[in-house]
Structure 1
């Protein structure tokens, strides 16, 4: 692994992870849409429990994340193929992964691993943990994070922020019985 520009941009093989720029937003929006194609392999009862259209993040949301250095993209041969969006939760000394996607045609190439690894390395510098919410029943969601050391947080141990996030996801139509919060302690 080669570290570039103060330890944030990492290059492995032909995949480059870097901070996002404003001109990346159109590609990020497209990746967010196409990444959902992976769900077509899930059982029909699960697919029927999902909203017909999952709300996508706005252009303004991504602009804000770029300004606050909370959005990273993965490139292969100068083409943006994945991204990870974070939020610094200073009062918890945590980073929260708020959005994470790899273009459907580029999945299963360790791009997701490299994106999350950038966040792990970033968190190790000044945070205690990384949190996220995800599907507990989707093979490439919770099990992927478990392989990296994330642990599902028992519902009785959720803090107010995570309870609120899960409730908001439920209001958007995501089935609460399949959602969970996870944490990775980094220090």
Structure 2
């Protein structure tokens, strides 16, 4: 399994991965999440063009992560692993790759938003080193993301912003990572 920058040709496969991964939400009573369509190709392409979209590849992409700069941190917009490949550390490897990229390009942290009560969301990210960000400490960019999520109906279930600070050692070790 290798991680590489996403190509434009990978983006439809990323949509398929997200649809498949979303099916798990049906098992926890969140069918609306499973039914939600992934980002469109026109929405995914800017991540790819900016170099902030990565895929984990076997023969084909089996997982992907997209990110964007938000208020001095690299914000993970989406990370999805095809359920046929889940629970093998692929998502964590993508997160570590994003952390290496973030540290190597001057970001001091990773951020993300997630569901608090879904085992493969906030509890998983906590095991990956993310910590909850109190609402009073949300940056303007994170507040805007949360407002967009609420407008999209995601606040039907408890959500949280989380941050993972990158250590100086991570930033030094990751210099030069693409």
| Structure 2 residue 69 is matched with structure 1 residue 85 | no
Alignment equivalent of 1:74, drawn from 50, 56, 59: 56
How many residues matched?
166
SS in structure 1 at match of 2:111: strand
Structure 1 runs, 4 residues or longer, greater than 6 Å off: none
Structure 1 residue 55: Cα displacement: 4.0
SS in structure 1 at match of 2:154: coil
Alignment equivalent of 1:57, drawn from 27, 34, 39: 39
Query: CA separation in 1, counterparts of 2:4 and 2:107?
Result: 20
* Contact 1:32–1:101, Cα closer than 8 Å, also in 2: yes
| Structure 2 residue 17 is matched with structure 1 residue 31 | yes
Gaps of 5+ in 2: 168-178
SS in structure 1 at match of 2:35: coil
| Structure 2 residue 52 is matched with structure 1 residue 95 | no
TM norm structure 1: 0.83
Moved more, 32-41 or 66-75: 32-41
* Contact 1:55–1:172, Cα closer than 8 Å, also in 2: no
Query: CA separation in 2, counterparts of 1:38 and 1:52?
Result: 7
Query: CA separation in 1, counterparts of 2:138 and 2:66?
Result: 21
Q: Which residue of 2 aligns with 1:16?
A: 2
Structure 1 residue 156: Cα displacement: 1.5
CA deviation profile, 1:143-168 (whole Å, cap 9, x unmatched):
11111211010111111211111111
Gaps of 5+ in 1: 1-14
SS in structure 2 at match of 1:175: helix
Matches within 5 A, 1:112-127: 112-125=91-104, 126-127=106-107
SS in structure 2 at match of 1:57: coil
CA deviation profile, 1:88-133 (whole Å, cap 9, x unmatched):
23xx321000111011221111110111010111112211111100
Name the CA shift for 1:161/1:103 in 2 (closer, same or farther; >3 Å).
same
Query: CA separation in 2, counterparts of 1:177 and 1:52?
Result: 13
Structure 1 residue 180: Cα displacement: 0.5
